[in-house]
């Protein structure tokens, strides 16, 4: 069972999703992710795509990122996220968009909302495909200094050439790889 590592909801246990098809972000990877963001003094608005149980977005909200938006299409995962939001008492800080990613991104772009961090953890077998398909709408949602972070399997090479995003670096944690991108200057 995962838990919130730091911040105002520190120690709260989170419900997970049943089944072996779900690849939750490991605690070590989550801790490294937020250490990197903290060391770069990044805060502000946080977007969590393919949220699963909501643990990454809830960790961000616990660490005072505002606002935090979670996108999840699975009804079972949406139920788990709602319970996790209640258990962490982060209701005022987190918005759950119950939709597929394409529709949710279009809605966010139409609203003019901008994010400092977009975290993307799709099913690992489809991670690179989703990355290429969603790079444009995600880049439009990023602030000028915003970051997109893609979690994928360590054996999959990080895409380095994307027109709207500039590859920064990757970090490996167990079987996971975090690849960092910023909005390309055009």
Structural domain including 96 reads: 43-183
- pLDDT at position 186, please? 64
| pLDDT tens sequence across 91-134 | 999 999 999 999 999 999 999 999 999 999 999 889 999 999 99
User: Residue 58 is encoded by which pair of tokens?
Assistant: 């809830």
State the pLDDT at residue 10.
96
8 within some domain:
no
How many domains does the chain fold into? 1
Domain membership of residue 67 (yes or no) is yes
Residue 15 domain flag: no
81 part of a folded domain: yes
Beta strands in the chain (DSSP E): 2-3, 13-14, 46-49, 68-72, 94-98, 115-120, 142-153, 161-162, 165-173, 176-183
With vertex at residue 27, the alpha carbon angle to CA 104 and CA 29, rounded to the nearest 5 degrees, is 70
Q: Quick one: average pLDDT of 73-87?
A: 96
pLDDT in tens, 154-164: 999 888 877 89
Within a domain: 166: yes
- pLDDT, mean over the chain: 93
Q: What percent of the chain has pLDDT over 90?
A: 82
DSSP assignment of 14-28? E----SSS--PPPHH
Tell me, what's the pLDDT at 24?
79
Encode pLDDT of 23-55 as tens digits. 778 888 999 999 999 999 999 999 999 999 999
Whether 172 is in a domain gets the answer yes
Q: What is the DSSP letter of 12?
A: -
User: Would 24 be classed as within a structural domain?
Assistant: no
Structural domain includes residue 9: no
Q: CATH no. for residue 49?
A: 3.40.50.150
CA distance to 80, 97, 145, 172, per residue, from 100 (Å): 17, 9, 26, 28
User: CA-CA distance, 32 to 144, in Å (whole number)?
Assistant: 24
């Amino acid at each position: 069972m995962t838990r919130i590592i730091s911040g105002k909801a520190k120690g709260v246990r989170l419900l997970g999703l049943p089944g072996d098809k779900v690849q939750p972000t490991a605690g070590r990877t989550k801790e490294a992710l937020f250490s990197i963001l903290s060391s770069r003094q990044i805060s502000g608005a946080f977007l969590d795509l393919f949220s699963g149980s909501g643990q990454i977005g809830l960790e961000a909200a616990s660490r005072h990122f505002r606002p935090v938006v979670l996108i999840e299409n699975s009804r079972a995962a949406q139920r788990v996220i709602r319970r996790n939001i209640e258990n962490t008492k982060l209701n005022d800080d987190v918005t759950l968009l119950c939709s597929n990613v394409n529709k949710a991104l279009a809605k966010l772009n139409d609203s003019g909302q901008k994010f400092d961090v977009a975290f993307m953890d799709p099913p690992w077998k489809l991670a690179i495909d989703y990355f290429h398909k969603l790079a444009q709408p995600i880049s439009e949602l990023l602030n000028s200094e915003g970051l997109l972070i893609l979690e994928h399997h360590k054996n999959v090479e990080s895409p380095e050439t994307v027109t709207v995003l500039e590859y920064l670096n990757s970090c490996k944690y167990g079987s996971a790889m975090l690849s960092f991108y910023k909005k390309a200057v055009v």
